[in-house]
Amino acid sequence: MTEKPAEYKLEEIEVGQIKKFSVKVTESMIDYFANLSGDFNPLHMDEKYARTTQFGRRLCHGMLLAAFFSRLVGMYLPGKNALYFSQTLNFKSSCFINDQVTVEGEILDKSMATRIVTLKTTIYNQDGQCLVDGTAKVIVR
């Protein structure tokens, strides 16, 4: 790993603060995720089958996209001092191989008493369409 995580302290985090990054979803990512998770559903893995569905091609696993929220929290906001507490997920739209996605987190709330920050978490595709959203709660150690 060459990238170092941000090291925000709770006092440095502000409501409204936003961090984002982009990732191209590749076929190899989907293959690796299937091997890691054990989810080999043909909708994700079999191009011939996927063409017969309403999607017309292979889909990225929703949980692969959701895994990018872990990168958001652990590397960007708050980074090194983060301890994931909870995450809600709403899968809104499909993601396909070669989509360029943007993962974004915005601080909605910060509690000094509990040391918990609440983030709005969202993933968009290259057309600005929301693919996944939710709310993360993160303890800042």
pLDDT per residue as tens, the chain (141 positions): 568 999 999 999 999 999 999 999 999 999 999 999 999 999 999 999 999 999 999 999 999 999 999 999 999 999 999 999 999 999 999 999 999 999 999 999 999 999 999 999 999 999 999 999 999 999 999
Predicted local confidence at residue 1, as pLDDT: 54
CA dihedral 8, 120, 65, 99 (to 10 degrees): -100
Fill in the DSSP letter of residue 12. G
Backbone dihedral angles phi then psi of residue 73, each to the nearest 5 degrees: -70, -45
The structure's pTM equals 0.94
* Assigned CATH class of 10-25+62-140: alpha beta
Tokens of 131: 């693919």
Distance CA 113, CA 43 (A): 45
3 state DSSP class of 72: helix
**Domain residue ranges in the chain:** 10-25+62-140
Give the pLDDT of residue 18. 98
